[in-house]
């Protein structure tokens, strides 16, 4: 009798417990792999899908949906389909105090605007000049060594560069060859662009201008390949004669300056920085003497100080050697100096976003 009664009680408890228990399936979060692009200028091809705001639903979430279900008293924010790429996310204004799920949060809340970093950006270290020269020139009292900030310009011809070592030798900045004309990209540009920044150099990109291509298509080609990096130095237009080019046209000075202006205007609008003009003595004498006074100049002068070769011209950079030697680079490299003190360098790069 007691065993029968006890068995009945145990059986009844198990039945009741079984009726009260539930087994809801786990919801599956299925996020598509990132399709991050590496092109310099890209636009998001997938817009942010519009999400209806309504009451929470008790239905299970399909495998290809990502949703956050809020309590009945709060609206529901949902994305239908796969999660869009990060670049496709548009700023979304979110109210404060939104309830946060206690378990398995699956939504990324995007602030209405990015908050500035309150930590002031420190000045980068300036390394002293330690370069050598395969063909040294005696500049006398006007020696480039008297300038505090030195740098280099490079292209594919410098090969695989040890940027960390090059910086410690005195390369505080680098201008990196990006493009020629309207269809050529230096094959080492992307590698040099990334590694120079990783090594702590201030770096910018330059374009070798072709006189047989329209200025507009050359500017578009440069913009397609050179990232709009707020930390970069202003872009450079390299204007000079090229004896190796199949283009033998010699334009009038008015036409030369017109094409330059179109190119520089397009770059300034896109990058928000006034381009620097690089040139050599013969081209300068023929077309640029007394012109573009409101633009910074980068002057090639490997046998004398720029004041001797470009009288009356204010300049920002001086390319004083095409036969420099440095640890971190095999072969020769172009050497340059900034026209100013360390403080002036920091102020100029700060104003230009670098």
Tokens encoding 158:
């410098």
What lies within 8 Å, CB to CB, of 343 at 6+ separation is: none
What is d(CA 202, CA 198) in angstroms, rounded to the nearest whole number? 10
Residue 321 contacts residue 335 (beta carbons within 8 Å): yes
Q: Tell me the DSSP string of 9-72.
A: HHHHHHHHHHHH---PPPPP---PPP-----SS---SSPPPP---B----SPPPTTEEEEPPPT
- Catalytic residues, by residue number, are 240
Which residues of the chain form beta strands (DSSP E)?
65-68, 77-80, 132-133, 150-154, 173-180, 184-185, 202-208, 236-239, 276-279, 297-300, 317-325, 333-338
Q: Is 141 exposed, middle or buried (0-12, 13-18, 19+ CB in 10 A)?
A: exposed
């Amino acid at each position: 009798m007691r065993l029968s009664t006890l068995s009945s009680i145990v059986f009844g408890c198990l039945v009741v417990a079984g009726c009260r228990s539930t087994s809801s399936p786990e919801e599956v979060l299925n996020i598509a792999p990132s399709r991050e692009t590496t092109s310099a200028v890209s636009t998001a091809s997938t817009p942010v899908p519009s999400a209806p705001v309504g009451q929470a639903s008790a239905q299970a979430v399909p495998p290809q949906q990502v949703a956050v279900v809020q309590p009945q008293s709060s609206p529901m924010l949902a994305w239908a389909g796969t999660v869009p790429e990060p670049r496709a996310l548009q700023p979304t204004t979110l109210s404060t105090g939104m309830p946060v799920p206690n378990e398995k949060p699956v939504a990324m809340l995007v602030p209405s605007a990015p908050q500035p970093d309150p930590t002031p950006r420190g000045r980068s270290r300036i390394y002293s000049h330690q370069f050598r020269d395969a063909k040294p020139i005696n500049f006398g009292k006007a020696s480039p060594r008297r300038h505090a900030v030195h740098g280099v310009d490079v292209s594919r011809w410098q090969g695989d560069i040890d940027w960390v070592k090059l910086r410690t030798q005195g390369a505080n900045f680098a201008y990196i060859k990006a493009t020629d004309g309207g269809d050529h990209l230096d094959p080492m540009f992307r590698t040099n662009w990334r590694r120079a920044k990783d090594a702590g150099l201030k770096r910018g990109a330059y374009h070798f201008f072709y006189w047989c291509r329209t200025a507009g298509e050359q500017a578009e080609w440069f913009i397609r390949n050179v990232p709009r990096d707020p930390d970069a130095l202003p872009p450079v237009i390299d204007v000079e004669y090229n004896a190796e080019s199949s283009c033998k046209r010699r334009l009038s000075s008015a036409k030369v300056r017109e094409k330059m202006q179109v190119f520089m205007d397009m770059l300034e609008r896109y990058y928000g920085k006034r381009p620097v003009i690089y040139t050599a003595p013969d081209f300068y004498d023929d077309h640029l003497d007394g012109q573009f006074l409101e633009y910074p100049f980068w002057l090639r002068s490997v046998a004398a100080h720029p004041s001797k070769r470009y009288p009356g011209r204010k300049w920002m950079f001086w390319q004083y050697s095409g036969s420099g030697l440095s640890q971190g680079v095999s072969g020769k490299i172009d050497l340059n100096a900034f026209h100013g003190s360390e403080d002036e360098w920091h102020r100029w790069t700060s104003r230009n976003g670098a």
